[in-house]
Amino acid sequence: MTINSLTTLNHEVFYNDPTTYALPNDGVARVGPLPENREDKQWAVARYELEHFVCEGSYHDGLKRILTSYIQNLDQGSQPAAWVSGFFGSGKSHLVRVLEFLWSDLRFADGATARGLCNLPPGIQEALKELTTEARRTGGIWSAAGTLSSGDSDDPRLAVLQVVLRSADLPDILDIARVHLWLAHEGILDDMREKLRAIGKEKDMELPFVSEHLAQVLLELKPGFANSTTQATEFLSNQFITNRQMTNAELIKLMKDVFILKGSARGQIPLVLLVLDEVQQYLTIGEGSKQLLAFQDIIEECCKSFGGKLLIVATGQEALEANTLLQRLQGRFSVPVQLESKDVDVVLHQTVLRKKESMKRPLQLVFDQVNGEISRHLGGTKLAHQMEDDDALLLDYPLLPTRKRLWDRILHAVDTGGMSTQLRTQLRLAYEGSRSTALEPIGSVIPADFIFDQLSTYLIRNGLLADEINEMIRKEDDGTPDGNLRSRICALIYLIQYVDESFGVNANAQTLSDLLVTDLPAGSEILRKEVPELLLELNDRGVISDVGNRVYQIQTKEGKAWDSDYRTKLVQYRADDSKIMFKRDELLSRAVDTKLRGLSLVQGKSKTPRQAELTVFGSQKPEIGTKVPVWIRHGWEVPESQVRTEAQEEGTESPLLMVFLPRMHHNEIRNEIAGMLAATEILQSRPTPTTSEGHQARTNIEAKCRNHATKVAEYITAILANTKLYPGGGVGVDCPDLVKAVHDAAQNSMLRMFPRFNDADAVGWDRVIPRVKADAKSPLETIGFARATEEHPVCKEILRRLHSGPKTGNEIRNILDAPPFGWPRDAIDGALIALCASEHLVATLQRKPVPAKEIDRKNLGKMEFR
Percentage of residues of the chain with pLDDT beyond 90: 63
Say if residues 44 and 24 touch (Cβ distance below 8 Å).
Answer: yes
In angstroms, the CA 804 to CA 735 distance is 48
Q: What is the pLDDT of residues 114-169, one digit of tens each?
A: 999 999 999 999 999 999 999 998 889 999 999 886 555 678 999 999 999 999 99
Residue 632 phi/psi, 5° resolution? -110, 125
pLDDT of residue 37: 87
Average pLDDT over residues 608-628: 89
pLDDT of residue 521: 93
- Of 615, 632, 624, 614, nearest to 654 by C-alpha is 624
Q: What is the pLDDT of residues 93-125, one digit of tens each?
A: 889 999 999 999 999 999 999 999 999 999 999
Average pLDDT over residues 33-59: 87
Please state whether beta strands 552-554 and 544-546 pair in parallel, antiparallel, or not at all (unpaired): antiparallel
pLDDT of residue 34: 86
Query: For residue 725, is pLDDT > 90?
Result: yes
SS (H, E, C) 295-320: HHHHHHHHHHHCCCCEEEEEEECCCH
In angstroms, the CA 390 to CA 550 distance is 31
User: What is the number of alpha carbons within 13 Å of residue 826 lying toward its C-beta?
Assistant: 17
Query: For residue 591, is pLDDT > 80?
Result: yes
pLDDT of residue 414: 81
Report the interhelical angle of 692-721 vs 467-475 (nearest 10°): 80
Q: What is the pLDDT of residues 325-341, one digit of tens each?
A: 788 888 889 899 988 77
pLDDT of residue 416: 56
pLDDT of residue 762: 93
Q: How far apart are the first and last CA of the chain?
A: 99
Q: What residues are paired with 601 via a beta bridge? A: 610
Q: Which amino acid would we find at residue 102?
A: L
Q: What share of the chain is helix, strand, coil (3-state, %, to 5)?
A: 55, 10, 35
Q: What is the pLDDT of residues 379-395, one digit of tens each?
A: 999 999 999 999 899 99
Q: What is the pLDDT of residues 504-515, one digit of tens each?
A: 999 999 999 999
Q: What is the pLDDT of residues 675-704, one digit of tens each?
A: 999 999 999 998 888 888 888 889 889 989
Polymer length of the chain: 866
pLDDT of residue 626: 87
Query: For residue 4, is pLDDT > 60?
Result: no
Structural domain spans, the chain:
24-155+246-342, 176-245, 355-555, 577-742, 757-865
Query: For residue 24, is pLDDT > 90?
Result: no
Query: For residue 363, is pLDDT > 70?
Result: yes
Q: In sequence order, what E strands does 96-240 have?
A: 141-147
Query: For residue 487, is pLDDT > 90?
Result: yes
Q: Which amino acid would we find at residue 173?
A: I
In angstroms, the CA 440 to CA 557 distance is 39
Is residue 219 classed exposed, middle or buried when 0-12, 13-18 and 19+ CB atoms within 10 A define those classes?
middle
Give CATH for domain 24-155+246-342. 3.40.50.300
Q: What is the pLDDT of residues 809-860, one digit of tens each?
A: 999 999 999 999 999 999 999 999 999 999 999 999 988 999 998 898 898 9
CA angle 349, 313, 327 (to 5 degrees): 100
Question: 194: helix, coil or strand?
Answer: helix
Residue 519 phi/psi, 5° resolution? -90, 90
pLDDT of residue 1: 39
| pTM confidence score | 0.63
Say if residues 342 and 61 touch (Cβ distance below 8 Å).
Answer: no
pLDDT of residue 421: 40
CA dihedral 601, 603, 608, 613 (to 10 degrees): -40
Which DSSP letter does residue 421 get? T
**pLDDT tier at 285, thresholds 50, 70, 90:** low
**pLDDT tier at 420, thresholds 50, 70, 90:** very low
Say if residues 427 and 94 touch (Cβ distance below 8 Å).
Answer: no
Say if residues 144 and 275 touch (Cβ distance below 8 Å).
Answer: yes
Say if residues 45 and 24 touch (Cβ distance below 8 Å).
Answer: yes
In angstroms, the CA 603 to CA 606 distance is 7
Average pLDDT over residues 295-314: 92
pLDDT of residue 619: 84
| Residue-wise DSSP of 507-556 | -SHHHHHHHH--BTTT-SHHHHHHHHHHHHHHHHTTSEEE-STT-EEE--
In angstroms, the CA 164 to CA 154 distance is 16
pLDDT of residue 310: 94
Average pLDDT over residues 61-66: 94
pLDDT of residue 424: 52
Average pLDDT over residues 429-455: 93
CA dihedral 62, 68, 71, 76 (to 10 degrees): -100
How high is the mean pLDDT of the chain? 89
Query: For residue 748, is pLDDT > 70?
Result: yes
Q: What is the pLDDT of residues 194-245, one digit of tens each?
A: 999 999 998 999 999 999 999 999 999 998 888 899 999 999 999 898 887 8
User: What is the number of alpha carbons within 13 Å of residue 390 lying toward its C-beta?
Assistant: 9
**pLDDT tier at 3, thresholds 50, 70, 90:** very low
In angstroms, the CA 374 to CA 317 distance is 34
Q: Which amino acid would we find at residue 388?
A: E
Say if residues 88 and 418 touch (Cβ distance below 8 Å).
Answer: yes
